[in-house]
Structure 1
Amino acid sequence: MDETGILPGVPHLRSLADLAQLVEVVSPVYVRFSAGPVADAATASRDHESGCLLPGLSVNPLTPEPWWDRRLEHWLARQLCQYAHLQSPERFPWVLTGEIVGRGPDCEPLLVDTTVIASIDRSVVDEAAETYARVFRPGDDGR
């Protein structure tokens, strides 16, 4: 990986539309915000609050649930925004698939036997945030 989060040998997605095209073809796929697959393979995943060792990589699903009846880009924007706070100069979003071996403390899937599918340009997270703010009601708890 270079400093821009581009992973060699896999597509680098530059828009929500690019990500949507990938999700329509490859399923199931997940997003992870980290220093990348090489860094993740070198260390064990831990729950930061408890210190517990996790049996797999913590990810967020990009493949929508069957009940989702809105545009795919809306799902993707919401999913990217859920963990966008993890993005930093050292951490970037990337797409992967693998076998679910459990759930993390926030009920997120934990993956093993992962395959890297693509990296996501940091600008896509900005686009996701704009889409999220435009099409959702952040903070509305239904009361």
Structure 2
Amino acid sequence: MTQQEIIDQPRTPARQLNLRFSSTRRGARLARQLAIQQLTEWTGLPHDSDPALAVAHVTAELTSNAITHGRLPGRDFRLTLLLLPDAVRIEVTDPRPESRPPHSVAELAPPDVTSGRGLLLVEAYADCWGCTSRDAYTKTVWAEVPLRTTTSS
């Protein structure tokens, strides 16, 4: 569960979805809802399964960061979902390549502040995550959420 700073090429997906959303709270909410819906359609998992809830949390955090830190007036963010053999890769692309997440969770906000620790959720739910810039105009923050369900003993 570490961030990867390298330019990461995802494994070959079985299915893929690309959508653009307005850089607003409504856009972020719609992206989260659509990510859950698409996951359940692709996999047959229920909406309240562990993987679906993890996808919801990770998508919410990445899209929230895109509209908060990666927003430029008049520019949208892009949500890409890739169904991999054992995971779902969530990619959120925004128009602010200079506004990158910290290199490690150790660089996140101190415990006495009320915000700035959302990437800890990403770290907890994802097998791996990172940030890439494929051009000079955008950055993509991505995370791979495992499809395995946790079993209680």
Q: TM-score over 0.5 for the alignment?
A: no
Give the TM-score of the pair, scaled to structure 1: 0.30
